A and B are shown apart, each in its own frame.
Chain A
Amino acid sequence: MNAHTDTIDEFVASDYKYGFVTDIESESLEPGLNKDVVRFISAKKNEPEWLLDWRLKALQHFEKMKSPTWPQVKYPPVDFQDISYYSAPKKKGDGPKSLDEVDPKLLETYEKLGVPLHERARLAGVAIDAVFDSESIGTTFKEDLAKAGVIFCSISEAVQKHPELVKKYLGTVVPYTDNFYATLNSAVFSDGSFVYIPQGTRCPMELSTYFRINAANTGQFERTLIVAEESSHVSYLEGCTAPMRDENQLHAAVVELVALDNAEIKYSTVQNWYPGDEQGRGGIYNFVTKRGVCKTNAKISWTQVETGSAITWKYPSVILQGDNSIGEFYSIALTNKAQQADTGTKMVHIGKNTRSTIVSKGISAGKGQNSYRGLVQVGKKATKARNFSQCDSLLIGDKCGAHTFPYIEAKNPSASIEHEATTSKIGEDQIFYCNQRGLEPQDAVNMIVNGFCKEVFRELPMEFAIEAQKLLDVSLEGSVG
């Protein structure tokens, strides 16, 4: 097709809608990583002694670690001394008591991003915690949630108000020694969300966190902890955007999920950090550790739509510790321009009759490189463990790459593990067929991609599914194969 190159170019040049910068006075720490920085962050948040100790231990451990080289991504070494580890919008006096007192500029920012923070957002029926650089600026629907006994607040607030819960669970799923970026996060994490669902409670609304990086030269290190007590249920969504800048910014988050007996946690992500330009300049380095642990009969389901970031390096995992527990992973990863993604999951089967499902859809376009990397591990005692994995890759254009690196380790004879993967491109015959039926080539591509991703969209909460579908359409604009 003649138009092929033109449209690919157009596609690569398509705009990043969320690239604006909010002009707000902020308080940033000088770049650098040392004990004083950790102490500063801890003091700023008025943290108890045990937490500061924990952070310092993490820092000490971090200094001995080396940056991992195994992912299928290329980037210049990150200078950890050149990053500011704390940045927050400047507060007047003691800070806002409620959302009404929050700086209108911040509210405007979220308005512009399409995230309704105001109580009129009641219609949307979603409670939101908004994190701006290193600080949470407000959480909606706190009272309504409190009635149900649900705690939903920033993790800094949780440290103050519910220290016993934080202390009990923080670092139990992702210890501070876990991996390079998780260790860094443990030392310098700034804010994030904390969710606690009491026993037997079904959270009355969807919970959501919206992460926004604004300040330049900063890294965002958020930490999210979700605890679902016995027989409870929660659905949690997260979204992320950042301004367009020429330099790379680091985002190293840790998310820990604890699903106690019979509990269910559904965690959905739409990640749309600034991806950088077609030359690979700028964009967010998204190095994230996400892991959940399932007790007896519990279920954790990860759904992710990854369209942003210059580099995504992320493996939401489930440790199926309890008998009959279930882990799920549904992922769409789109790499375009010069984006690189190395993402997948780990399913660790420890308990009996544990089940896991992995559905991963990778789409590569432009000069994007997309890798699926996953581990399915069945321990000796995981009798009758079941796993089904499916990893499909779609290639659009001839400069991109799609890779699959699954690891399977089975130590139990009654385990049943199936892995399938396919790689293909959108067929000219498919597009031709759609053209015949009167569809424009672009619409045909969108339709085919949406069909390709359908199994994952189905897993998203409805509003999110529509959002995600639009996001994919926008990202694919002009990509006629």
Chain B
Amino acid sequence: MSSATANETAPTPIEAFARVEQAGGPLLPLRKTGLARFAERGFPTTRDEDWRFTSLKPLADLPFLPTLEPSDQAFNQTEINGITFGRHDVDRLVFVDGHHSSDLSLISDQPDGVTVSNLADSLSELKNDISSLSANDENPFIALNDAFFTDGALIRIPSNGRLAKPVHLVFLSTAAGDGQAAHVRNWIDAGDNAQGTLVESHLSLGQAATSTNVVTETRIGAGANLEHIKFQDQSDSTVHLASLHSELSKDARYAFHSLALGSRLSRNNLRMRLAKPGIECVLNGLYMTHSDQLADHHMIVDHAAPRCDSHEYFNGILDNQSRGVFHGRILVQSDAQKTNAKQTNKNLILSDHATANTKPQLEIYADDVRCTHGATVGELDDDAIFYLQTRGLDTKTARRMLMHGFAGEIVDRIQHDGIREELDQLVWNRLEDKHHLD
């Protein structure tokens, strides 16, 4: 246990747990184990290989104040409509500081067997599911989430079913006090041949130094096809810690897109297990950082069965003193013959003080495989800028176009038309107010 208690008066996670214990509930054993596991390990330090480039100081400096009760702040639908993706025709499930808000949510009638709801009301039924995919992970933040999670989304699509509309999960951070920590848990279960599109947004409505710890488990059935877009645009003072554990079945297709734009410190742990043959898994990410932000993506794609394809594409645009961290490991087990795996990480550094750390790794125990990885770090190509200038564009526009194109490589992989277009526009607008264009 290192330094969650920097502030003398704030409770430690162990002290804060008393309230969770009092509340009881069907998952109390899991919560207790989680707390014990966290107490044993404490916060990771940069001496841990998995956290080598990601210092948790911004978090350690904050008191630990889990938002165990819903806040009494009131919002209305109009405010929510104004947020990113707010105007799309979607089913919307809204969580404020880790608590479900039925007033803000908008769920249309779902086809038979489809569940789109919050998870806290179905805990007894989910008792054996929650943590079944994340249990073996050593990450102490999962243990902390086990202990403190309040609510999150429950999405179930039965075999051969599909979601009526894309589902938009909105996680708002509104807490006004520094150190308020929302713990969110999502359970997503797509049956055989199920289909759907899922959007997950993490946004802040304040400037306080809050933190979000979200753990998502997705089970994807045989032949299912799921697109999952995660959009993290919280305020620059927040800490965002996320873990995604997915288990894929035969011939499933799963595309996960991560856009990390906000938070002072953001970390996405992605753990994909390709357990059956014929799977196609795409992890696709864009991080754009400025000031002293740090965006970290840390993934392990475990090829445990033959004939699976996995692709990881991550692009980063790093400005000011910010840092982009990429850790990707493709693990090909000895049975996973005919694996086709590809991993790329490209970084564009815009300032003299930005840092890119990248670790694209391959660990291969099967011989009949085709695995490649590539990583690049660099600045915008002078020749390309010059070319655009000769076509009559000013430097600023030329630079912006090139950066937009670089981000576009990632955004273009999003299949959902409306969401892709909105993100594309958003990236273009973000690039506009950047001083480095000159």
Contacts and interface: CB of A to CB of B under 8 A. Distances in A.
Contact of A409 (B355, B360, B372): B355
B379 interface: yes
A233 to B, nearest CB: 32
B376 A413 contact: no
Interface stretch (A26-34, A290-298, A395-403): A395-403
Interface string A389-423: 00001011111111111111111111111111111
B379 A422 contact: no
Interface in B330-376: 334, 337, 347, 349-376
A409 B324 CA distance: 10
B376 A425 contact: no
A50 interface: no
Given A408-B375, A415-B349, A418-B374, A403 B359 contact: no
Contacts of A423: 362, 364, 369-372
A413 B350 contact: yes
Interface residues of B, number: 36
Contacts of B377: 378, 408, 410, 415-417
Interface string A81-105: 0000000000000000000000000
B372 A420 contact: yes
B138 to A, nearest CB: 15
Nearest to B360: A406
A424 interface: yes
B417 interface: no
Contact of A408 (B352, B354, B359): B359
A171 to B, nearest CB: 26
Given A393-B364, A395-B367, A422-B371, A410 B359 contact: no
B269 to A, nearest CB: 18
Nearest to A398: B367
Given A409-B356, A423-B370, A425-B368, A403 B361 contact: yes
Contact of B367 (A72, A400, A412): A400
A380 interface: yes
Contacts of B350: 413
B59 to A, nearest CB: 23
B82 interface: no
Contacts of A403: 361-364
B378 interface: yes
A75 interface: no
Contacts of A408: 356-359, 375, 377
Contacts of A401: 363-365
B359 A407 contact: yes
Nearest to B381: A416
A121 B75 CA distance: 90
A402 B53 CA distance: 25
Given A415-B378, A417-B375, A395 B364 contact: yes
A72 B363 CA distance: 10
B322 to A, nearest CB: 12
Interface residues of A, number: 36
B379 A404 contact: no
Contacts of A418: 374-376
A397 B367 contact: yes
A399 B363 CA distance: 13
A438 B224 CA distance: 49
Given A403-B364, A425-B367, A419 B375 contact: yes
B383 interface: no
Contact of B376 (A72, A397, A405, A419): A419
Contacts of B375: 406, 408, 417-419
B367 A396 contact: yes
B72 interface: no
B311 to A, nearest CB: 15
B69 interface: no
A4 to B, nearest CB: 11
Contact of B334 (A398, A404, A420): A398
Contact of A405 (B351, B357, B361): B361
A352 B29 CA distance: 58
A292 B355 CA distance: 25
Given A417-B377, A417-B378, A423-B370, A402 B349 contact: no
Interface string A163-186: 000000000000000000000000
B61 to A, nearest CB: 24
B326 to A, nearest CB: 9
Given A410-B355, A420-B372, A425-B367, A404 B378 contact: no
Contacts of A395: 364, 366-367, 369
A72 B361 CA distance: 12
Interface string B242-253: 000000000000
B49 interface: yes
Contacts of A420: 372-374
Given A403-B362, A413-B354, A419-B360, A425 B378 contact: no
Nearest to A416: B378
A274 to B, nearest CB: 26
A70 B49 contact: yes
Nearest to A386: B378
A404 B374 CA distance: 11
A413 B364 contact: no
Interface in B363-402: 363-379
Contacts of B371: 421-424
A424 B361 contact: no
B268 to A, nearest CB: 19
Nearest to A481: B367
Nearest to B359: A407
A407 B49 CA distance: 12
Contacts of A421: 360, 362, 371-374
A411 B355 contact: yes
A414 B353 CA distance: 11
Nearest to B363: A403
Nearest to B49: A70
Nearest to B334: A398
A413 B363 contact: no
A424 B334 CA distance: 14
B352 A413 contact: yes
Nearest to B52: A407
Interface string A416-438: 11111111110000000000000
A371 to B, nearest CB: 8
A397 B365 CA distance: 10
Interface string B119-150: 00000000000000000000000000000000
B374 A414 contact: no
Contacts of B379: 413-416
A404 B53 CA distance: 19
Nearest to B380: A413
Contacts of A415: 349, 377-379
Contacts of B358: 406-408
Contacts of B369: 395, 423-425
A395 B368 CA distance: 8
Interface in B315-329: none
Contacts of B360: 404, 406, 419, 421
20 contacts: A70-B49, A398-B337, A398-B366, A400-B367, A402-B362, A403-B363, A403-B364, A404-B360, A407-B357, A407-B358, A408-B377, A413-B379, A416-B378, A417-B375, A417-B378, A421-B373, A422-B371, A423-B369, A423-B371, A425-B367
Given A399-B334, A420-B374, 11 more contacts: A70-B49, A403-B363, A404-B373, A408-B356, A408-B358, A415-B378, A419-B373, A421-B360, A421-B373, A423-B370, A424-B370
- 10 closest A-B pairs by CB: A395-B367, A413-B349, A410-B377, A404-B362, A417-B377, A423-B371, A419-B375, A416-B378, A401-B365, A408-B358
